[in-house]
Amino acid sequence: MADTNRGVVYQGPGKVTVEDLDYPELELAEQDGRKLEHGVILKVLATNICGSDQHMVRGRTTAPAGLTLGHEITGEVVELGRDVEFIKKGDLVSVPFNIACGRCRNCKERHTGVCENVNRARPGAAYGYVDMGGWHGGQARYAVVPYADFNLLKFPADRDTVLAKLPDLAMLSDILPTGYHGAYTAGVTTGSTVYVAGAGPVGLACATACLLLGAAVVIVGDMNTQRLEQARGFGCETIDLSRHENVPEQIEQILGVPEVDAAVDCVGFEARGHGPEGSAGEQPATVLNTLMDITRAAGGLGIPGLYVTDDPGAPEERAKAGQLGLRFGLGWAKSHYFVTGQCPVMKYNRQLMMAILYDRVSVARNVNAQAIPLDQAPEGYAEFDRGAATKYILDPHGAVGAAA
């Protein structure tokens, strides 16, 4: 007999609840009962609250009420579809938040964030996310993963080792690869100076990745003093943007020059103005314009921060359609290059897994990961929305708590 299922459900702006759900089946009801014989059912061991989820919960997207949330999933395989060959029951696995078929041109070219076959509306899909294909979210006791042989990253270590490192390994589904992607595509390497915009979990994961890549100096900018303190705790320089509007001047005080080699936007479309005057209101293009200002000529900008095509809660009409007031001429004049879009998690997750298993990186500590029971998800969302310097891991079966 199947176990019972519960999950986190978006009820409308500002409200999530934990509800009883149907036990998963290997089909996608939102796509006419599409069969998923290539999929598996996971017992979810860890599933995280993400800033991207928070955008939906704030009402800043067109997400429908009743959507089961969650795209950061780590679990144990408990049921196999008929066509699954290489994944086995009992395997402990990480799930990339991108859903990918492994068969289309983009997947074959490792652009798994824009798979052509898993979303009827446009390229790219994710679990429990608005306009991303109708796939059920993973903030639940059990979840379905399609194309399992392709999508799942099996942990090679023994079970005890995996469970002991579960808080770190839980970051492989999204924020560590996403932060690494932002840093890597911006050109961060040995000796680089880097500015990371945003000290939320993705920003802190990005700063962690910058240090892993060999950056000499990582400067993190934010308005949240607790999050900035978290960044300083593992070796970053910081700029309090609620006090300082002139970011180049602050960078010059740190580096001796008002520019960095590379910059990463880990904020996205809900950016606020800098300084005491600007911090109260949204200015969606603030971060991108600042990064063009402070990045050296011929430098790179990584942009893993989320931007949307429809933002019904935006402060101005153009921003509601995803149109931002960018100083693009400045970027052009400085020969900047920009890399945007979803992180293709499978480009990075295996090597980052090995860095975790062999103690080369401690991302859970750096992002202040904290496990809470699934039923406390509404409180976790509320605390995160108030700016908690914490990455909340939902723990449906007590596995993360046991590891801690």
Per-residue pLDDT 10s for the chain (404 aa) are 468 899 999 999 999 999 999 999 998 766 667 889 999 999 999 999 999 999 899 988 888 999 999 999 999 999 999 999 999 999 999 999 999 999 999 999 999 999 999 999 999 999 999 889 989 999 999 999 999 999 999 999 899 999 999 999 999 999 999 999 999 999 999 999 999 999 999 999 999 999 999 999 999 999 999 999 999 999 999 999 999 999 999 999 999 999 999 999 999 988 888 988 766 578 889 999 999 999 999 999 999 998 988 888 788 888 888 888 999 999 999 999 999 999 999 999 999 999 999 999 999 999 999 999 999 999 999 999 999 999 999 999 999 987 66
| Residue 272 backbone dihedrals phi, psi, to 5 degrees | -115, 160
Please state whether the predicted TM-score (pTM) of the whole model is above 0.75.
Answer: yes
DSSP assignment, residue 241?
T
User: Looking at 324, 340, 356, which one is the last position of a domain?
Assistant: 340
Number of domains in the chain: 2
State residue 264 phi and psi, 5-degree precision.
Answer: -135, 130
CB burial string 11-32: b at 16+ within 10 A, e below: eeeeebebeebeebebbbeeee
| 8 A C-beta contact, residue 213 and residue 186 | no
Tens of pLDDT, residue by residue over 196-231, are 999 999 999 999 999 999 999 999 999 999 999 999
Residues 327 and 363 in one domain: no
Range of the domain at 348: 5-174+344-403
Domain shared by 190 and 333, yes or no = yes
Q: In this predicted structure, what is the pLDDT of residue 29? A: 67
Rounded Cα distance, 152 and 146, in Å: 9
**Beta bridge partner(s), residue 143:** 42
Predicted pLDDT at 145: 97
Burial 150-164 (b: 16+ CB within 10 A, else e): bbbbebebeeeebbe
Radius of gyration of the chain (CA): 20
Q: Tell me, yes or no, whether 21 and 153 share the same domain.
A: yes
Residues 170 and 181 in one domain: no
What is the domain-level CATH number for residue 198? Answer: 3.40.50.720
Looking at residue 371, the DSSP 8-state letter turns out to be: E
Measured CA to CA, the distance from residue 307 to residue 311 in angstroms comes to 9
Amino acid 31: pLDDT? 67
> Do 89 and 215 lie in a common domain?
no
Per-residue model confidence (pLDDT) at position 275: 87
Pair 328, 388 in one domain: no
Cα 254 to Cα 292: distance, rounded to the nearest angstrom: 18
Domain boundary among 340, 361, 394: 340
Residue at 160: amino acid letter? D
Structure tokens at 201: 């979990």
State whether 158 and 209 are in the same domain. no
- Look up the CATH number of the domain holding residue 356: 3.90.180.10
d(CA 5, CA 261) in angstroms, rounded, equals 48
